[in-house]
A and B are shown apart, each in its own frame.
Chain A
Amino acid sequence: MQDEFGSGRVQKAPESFLNREGIKTVFAEAKKGRRDFIRNAFAAAAAGVAVPVALAQGNPVPSDGGDPNILQLPEHSTGLGQGVASDSGYGKPSKYESNVQRRQSPGLTQTTQASVSFAPLQSLFGIVTPSGLHFERHHQGWWDIDPSKHRLMINGMVKASKVFTLDEIMRLPSVSRFHFIECGANTAVDWGNVAVPTVQYTHGMISCSEFTGVPLITLLELAGADLKNGKFVLAEGADGSSMTRTIPMSLILSGEVFVAYGQNGEMLRPEQGYPLRLIVPGVQGVSWVKYLRRIKVGDMPFATKDEAVHYIDLQPGGQHRQYTSIQECKSVVTTPSGGQVLLDKGFYNITGLAWSGRGKVKKVDVSVDGGRNWRTARIESPTLPKALTRFNLDWVWDGKPAIIQSRAMDETGFVQPSYKQLRAVRGTRSIYHNNAIQSWLVQESGEVKNVQVS
């Protein structure tokens, strides 16, 4: 964006590059009609000469010749710091990061055991979700299960039903892969209209981790599964809800589905199914059964509660779509996003996340005028199939209202739909699988609002 200043379009965002006194002077001079003075002042500002760029940080040059944070050496520069392993052997984030939490959406559920906590997407970088900030969805509370007592059983249409201990599963050849997990109900509350203020609540039921485990096909083959007639697989959890879902055989045969014990270099977190959960790449989170205790091979779908009462998508004609599983291509700008404040005009990095349950993200376009015009964002490596992908776009905000959107395209050529397109086919009562383009309105005050555009 430096080019814009070089090409004389400096009037776009002048104030940010001058301190308060500078602005006063500029406008006083402007009133006198000295436009050349303004141009010169802004040119100097753009070149970074003699003016603080950091006004937005609330950090003007102090009158006494310098920043006390620089001039007066702080304690951490003049004292002795803390020793190794002084944090009980497991490091924690800085105390200044304690605002960055997963949170419940007030009023969404009446209990904490059948509930959701949303990941703070507005505060995350890159594509990996820290394990402690991974969104949670429990149906009947979470447990911390003794791994030495956990068992995985394979039964149904198999030559011999099998039992595995965790020791045994961890002996088998393993894979480590990055995948996103998104709840089928992510963004559900905004199907009809805007209902929540921030990206944490609109899109926070998505996370991405590196998972480690054993392809399910390996275990099925060990049990001698009848893969010709056994077209459907049931996954079942060991917790109170004993969550069950019918798992697509095509993703098992392709080797994509695996039973995971590892997450981001350590074991799964208890809230994520310690010690064993199913990974079903590209498919909604409810199929990623936690505390996995049993896999059954059968010749018909199982119509479990979470695929016959919930996680079914009501269509305008009154029919429910059943066994909807794929999380289609979707993206969202995470900053600037709802509930945030742009402290001043000037340069900003628009950044966000894109993903597709059908493969890799190919392209992400960003609009700052509510979808009239689009620019292609930079995609940061790595770009992995069925994983979160980070995108960035330079932007200079001129202080006028702006509506920021992102629109992802995946490697199948599928383009993320608008709300209008989505509602035209699915109505507004579908609850699940809302992958519409998200709009954030940057108001003149700098405060960003969740909006939907006509």
Chain B
Amino acid sequence: MFRFPKTVLASALLVLSGFSAAQGIASYPGVGRDATPKEVAAWDIDVRPDFKGLPPGSGSVAKGQDIWEGKCAQCHGFFGESGEVFSPLIGGVTQDDIKTGHVANLRATTFPGRTTFMKVATLSTVWDFINRAMPWNAPKSLSTDDVYAVTAFMLNLSGIVPDNFTLSDKNIRDVQSLMPNRNGMTTEHNLWPGKEFNGVAKPDTQNVACMKDCAPEPKVASFLPDFARNAHGNLAEQNRLVGAQHGADTTRPERKLGSPVEPNAMMKPVAPKADAAGGDAKQPTALLQKYICLSCHAIDRKIVGPSYSDVSKKYPGQVDYLIKKIQSGGSGIWGPIPMPPQKLTEAEARTIATWLASGANK
């Protein structure tokens, strides 16, 4: 009889836990455990606008420049000005903006593009992002002091801190008060669900569902010019082969309405491209994908680095030279932006070099 109440108790607990689940205060025994302080420290890397989360450390503009030239310039340019791979980071900011805290060029519709430092209001954002995601092909590889240094160099390029400046957790709040677009953000809009910001209750457009005689005769105000008709590839190959509409064969002049469908022209299924992660690793093009070469080089056009066809024309048959260049990197031959040394095996470098030396065919 002693055991009976225990059973009752167990049943009661089950009922209770079911009850609490319904109340939204459930505990789910056996699911999840407490994180250790070491685990939290390993992942809890975010830095907020009030710099909560910022680890202590420091880095100078000069040190930042050294790191920049080795690890950042190949994508962002020596002065953070390059828009060849990503949007430019530096530029468009004036000393007057540092005073007002709102970048004047953002009002000028004529100013080409918007750089990161024209837009960003919070210095924490810059530090946090470099720390978590840069360099692009080796994120989280910079030390805390390196991140301070790179941030300091960018601040210097933007004219916010002097050449001899050292950024640290001690002075970063002072630098925040110089950010050129620190007053450039607003949350007065209707696109945040919730009342945490000073949002507005009403959407900013108020169309009405008019049904009849709603507008004057429409005029076409913007369309793609004829020369751009095929700019996105043959649209016939981007539509299903059957259906109410077929894709327009943009390699030819527009067809006449009602003219017979030409199955041979319309019905050429295009083989999907091999995806980025797949492909035969022994193929040079697969290696170019694997080692992210294609973010700086394209087959037939210059991006940051020269096109492969240009390299191929310059060094026909010179396999050994090309292996060395791939492995050790360099700058000056094709332009000032350096190519960093590439970590691939001798055999892989040879595969790419042989392909380059023999014409770099797709």
Q: A interface vs B, CB < 8 Å?
A: 15, 55-58, 95-101, 103, 105-106, 110-114, 120, 122-123, 139-142, 144, 153-155, 160-164, 168-169, 171-173, 193-198, 200-201, 217-219, 221-223, 231-232, 234, 236, 240-242, 244, 248-251, 282-283, 293-294, 296, 298, 300-305, 308-309, 312-315, 317-326, 328, 335-337, 339-345, 348-349, 363, 365, 369-376, 399, 403, 407, 409, 414-418, 421-422, 425-426, 429, 433, 439, 441, 443-454
Contact = CB atoms under 8 A, between A and B. Distances in A.
Interface of B: 21, 24-28, 30-35, 39-40, 43-46, 48-50, 84-86, 102-104, 106-107, 109, 114, 116, 119-122, 124-125, 128-129, 132-133, 136, 139-140, 184-197, 203-224, 228-229, 231-233, 235, 237-248, 250, 254-258, 260-261, 263, 269-272, 276-277, 289, 292, 294-295, 303
B192 A248 contact: yes
Contacts of A110: 84-86, 295, 303
Contact of A321 (B120, B191, B254, B255): B191
Contacts of B28: 171-172, 218, 222
Contact of B207 (A283, A318, A335, A415): A415
Contacts of A444: 257
A103 B238 contact: yes
A303 B187 contact: no
Contact of A98 (B40, B194, B270): B270
Contacts of B85: 110-111
Contact of B257 (A58, A370, A416, A445): A445
Nearest to B108: A318
A105 B231 CA distance: 10
A-B pairs with the 9 shortest C-beta distances?
Answer: A370-B218, A58-B261, A250-B194, A318-B107, A339-B235, A340-B245, A417-B205, A415-B207, A318-B106
B219 A320 contact: no
Given A98-B271, A305-B133, A399-B257, A421 B207 contact: yes
11 contacts: A15-B258, A110-B295, A155-B35, A161-B34, A197-B228, A217-B24, A249-B196, A321-B187, A365-B211, A448-B248, A451-B220
A389 to B, nearest CB: 16
B182 to A, nearest CB: 11
A441 B209 contact: no
Contacts of B233: 103, 106
A427 B220 CA distance: 19
A108 to B, nearest CB: 10
Given A293-B43, A300-B48, A370-B218, A339 B247 contact: yes
- Most chain A beta-carbon contacts within 10 A, residue among B102, B197, B245: B245
A363 B209 contact: yes
B261 to A, nearest CB: 3
Given A251-B193, A345-B258, 16 more contacts: A58-B260, A98-B272, A100-B240, A114-B136, A154-B35, A162-B34, A222-B31, A248-B194, A251-B194, A301-B197, A303-B124, A305-B125, A335-B243, A365-B209, A372-B215, A421-B207
A371 B215 contact: yes
Contact of A221 (B26, B237, B254): B26
Given A99-B240, A171-B28, A342 B245 contact: yes
A122 B239 CA distance: 7
Contacts of A321: 185-189, 191
- Most chain B beta-carbon contacts within 10 A, residue among A236, A309, A452: A309
B209 A415 contact: yes
A431 to B, nearest CB: 9
A298 B47 CA distance: 12
Nearest to A110: B85
Contact of A296 (B44, B241, B242): B44
B181 to A, nearest CB: 8
A447 to B, nearest CB: 5
B192 A163 contact: no
B139 A240 contact: yes
A322 B133 contact: no
Contacts of A337: 245
Given A106-B233, A298-B48, A339 B203 contact: no
A373 B44 contact: no
A144 B277 contact: yes
Nearest to B86: A114
Given A242-B139, A304-B125, A421-B205, A282 B193 contact: yes
